[in-house]
Amino acid sequence: MEHDRSGSSMQEPRRAVQSKLKDHHTNHSIKQNIIKGEIVIQNHGQSGPGKSASLQLYSSTAVDPSTGKGKMSEKAPASSMERASDMMASWVYPFQKTKSGRLFFSNNSYLPNHTPRALVQLRQLELASLRGDGTQEHARPVLGGSELHPYPCRLRTGHPPSNTEPSAESRTETINLDIYVPPDERFSPKKLSEFISNSIQATVHFIIPEAKSLFKQDSSSFESFDEIHDMFSSKGGQAVEGKVREKLKGKVREKLKKLVPNVLFKEINYAGKEDLLKFPLPQIVTENELAWGNDEEFGRQMVAGTNPARIKCLQEFPPQGRNRASTIHASHIEHNLDGLTLVQAMNEWRIFILDHHDYLMPYLSKINTKGVCAYASRTLFFLRADATMKPLAIELSLPGSSEDTEISRVFLPAKKGTEAALWQLAKAHVAANDSAYHQLISHWLHTHAVVEPFIIATRRQLSVMHPVNWLLRPHFKDTMHINALARSILVNSGGILEKTLFTGEISMELSSELYKEWRFDEQALPADLVKRGLALEDPDNPNSPSGVQLLFDDYPYGADGLDIWHAIKTWVTDYCSLFYEDDYSVNSDVEVQAWWSEIQNAGHGDKRNEAGWYKMTTLLDLIEALTTLIWIASGLHASVNFGQYAYAGYPLNRPMLCRKFIPREGTKEFAEFLRDPDKYYLSMLPGRFQMSLCYSINRGSLNAHI
């Protein structure tokens, strides 16, 4: 039987099929010629049993010489089908999902070489259809090894090759917390126990089906801001905790026994996880419950929050994109520059931009499905005399109706009324853009994925006796294991980040796209600050040992980071000078040369021919490379990892996705917005279930590694 339908999945009954076909053939006076064989069902309309379905039979005895398959009957309607049968005990999926109908065979069994000749091809087609072609839900592009989807190399898992992509390793069908990592790279038993315990809060929603059912009633929006705040109080936490603990505690134990070794399972301390969904109040709102909506705080977090390395000084006005200029005009912002003209502000390097536009635009059509509503954004800030960042304007863009066109709206700060409420909606969409960039790019890609090839090459090419191996060893601690676990529960297909970030199923594909912009030498903090226009080169200033001067001091990431950078470089320089006398000693070090060659040509092989790699022919090359690598694994990682819960743990401050666009005047959505702006804002944010996952991510697994 083959079923093709355009609505939701459905099962169809055998008896009704047979009855309908019999009536159809009888009415056409061909009862004596009814074909005996296999059934084809196609549905082209609404969901529900038998709606808009058509049926056909393949003969199991008579072969159609033109196709090599069994002869096929004419189509017959199937609107009267009511009950399922043993023969069709399987789901039939929408045609637009599978691109093929569904075959159901009769209850006869055949070994492959005993299959009736008329059914041989049908048997092969049915198997191919059930396997899929790698383009259906949860299928993701292979990352790495191609110009289209470049990516850093990772450790082999020992899994067999994938059936759909032999060059890639297969994945386990279930979450596996006991994933293979070389013994020297594994967490200590205590550290692994702590990590898994911290991860339970996040993964329980994925590993226990009952948890999803339990929280279905919590998929709706919060009704008030106080209700969200109460989720962090002891009263609110205890109410949820009791319900979850009683229903899920046993299920969690049972499932975890299958996911981790018995020895590790015994070490997991459940006593600390009694409060399954109870969370402390994030720091951002401990002193001021309304800090999340404050414009000054919004600006401060761009230089001192969880993603401080994305903002840059605006070099040209209006901002320029790949295809067109921004729609933010001088008239939008000149009145808000504290008495300066636009030209003056630009000449004094006081206008900054948070840009999430160009890289998102090509993906918005894919992203804005399944209830997600996302824009590509540009946000301008003004550096005031007191060194605070004042938001000036937000531009939100969507793809136009034709290729290479955009629909953009500009929102301006306001203190009250409708404009103020719209401004808050716009800030929420910017925060969602920045949250996804932080998790996928600033954190995962820039401090985890890119470091793994260096670790692999270090273990493969540098003897344990090599001084560079000794130097790097403490900075690589636990990274391989945390990366392996992340691929199992966080960044995997259908994993936690896909469920919580607005980027959804294209999350890792997007990180591959932005890996194209990555250069190793630009990861050095001074180079990064100069590139983003946050610092000027100043190599001869004795008060700037890092060789650069910040444009303004109240930039904690830059100011503190440069102190750390200088300390690292001083240590690396002194250390290397103990072993390397001159450039020749570096150039003739066969292990270091093999190490650097593997990093460039294999570990980051997709970028082997690009700029940004030191030649590794001088002592200075080695010092710069080692300082940059240690900075990535220490200072840079710390800046984007620690403090996540303090800022992103409160969903009003850093929402990870939005469920509504900003309404336009004259629409029913705008009328809904005007009736109750706060209610509209809350309905735009993730539902209760997704919010609970966001709490868990920022409190648990993502924030648990060091």
Task: List, for residues 339-352, the tens digit of each pLDDT value.
Answer: 999 999 999 999 99
The whole-angstrom separation of Cα 603 and Cα 460 is: 11
Q: Write out pLDDT tens, residues 569-598.
A: 999 999 999 999 999 999 999 999 999 999
How confident is the model over 309-362, as pLDDT tens digits?
999 999 999 999 988 899 999 999 999 999 999 999 999 999 999 999 999 999
Q: Which SS3 state, helix, strand or coil, does residue 484 take?
A: helix
CA 217 to chain centre: 25
Query: What CATH number labels 285-436+644-703?
Result: 3.10.450.60
- The CATH class that applies to domain 450-641 reads mainly alpha
Give the pLDDT band of residue 404 (cuts 50, 70, 90): confident
- 3-class DSSP state of 27: helix
Of residues 680 and 650, more confidence is placed in 680
Note the helical H segments in 174-289: 189-207, 209-215, 225-230, 234-259, 262-267
Does residue 440 register a pLDDT over 50?
A: yes
Q: How many CB atoms are located within 10 Å of the residue 402 CB?
A: 6
CB 457 within 8 A of CB 598: yes
pLDDT at 146 > cutoff 70: yes
Q: Helix, strand or coil for residue 91?
A: coil
Give the SS3 label for residue 168: coil
pLDDT single digits (tens) 441-481: 999 999 999 999 999 999 889 888 899 999 999 999 989 98
Query: What's the pLDDT tens digit per position in 231-259?
Result: 775 444 444 444 445 555 555 566 555 55
* Integer Cα distance of 256 and 320 in angstroms: 51
In the chain, where the domains are located = 14-131, 183-218+233-278, 285-436+644-703, 450-641
- Amino acid residing at 293: G
pTM here? Answer: 0.76
Other Cβ atoms within 10 Å of 421 Cβ, number: 18
Other C-beta atoms within 10 Å of 175: how many? 19
11-67 confidence digits (pLDDT tens): 343 444 344 434 444 444 434 444 445 555 555 444 444 445 566 677 777 777 777
Identity of the amino acid at 666: G
Angle between helices 619-631 and 556-579 (to 10 degrees): 140
User: Does residue 91 surpass a pLDDT of 50?
Assistant: no
Number of neighbours of residue 296 by Cβ within 10 angstroms: 13
For 601, counting Cβ atoms within 10 Å of its Cβ (0-12 exposed, 13-18 middle, 19+ buried), the class is: middle
Q: Using 50, 70 and 90 to split pLDDT, how confident is the model at 129?
A: low
Averaged pLDDT for residues 677-685: 93
For residue 61, the surrounding DSSP H or E stretch is: strand 53-63
CATH code assigned to 14-131 = 2.60.60
Q: Considering only 78-82, 299-303, 388-392, 659-663, which range has the smallest mean pLDDT?
A: 78-82
333 three-class SS: helix
DSSP-assigned states of every residue in 578-611: HH--SHHHHHT-HHHHHHHHHIIIIITGGGTTSS
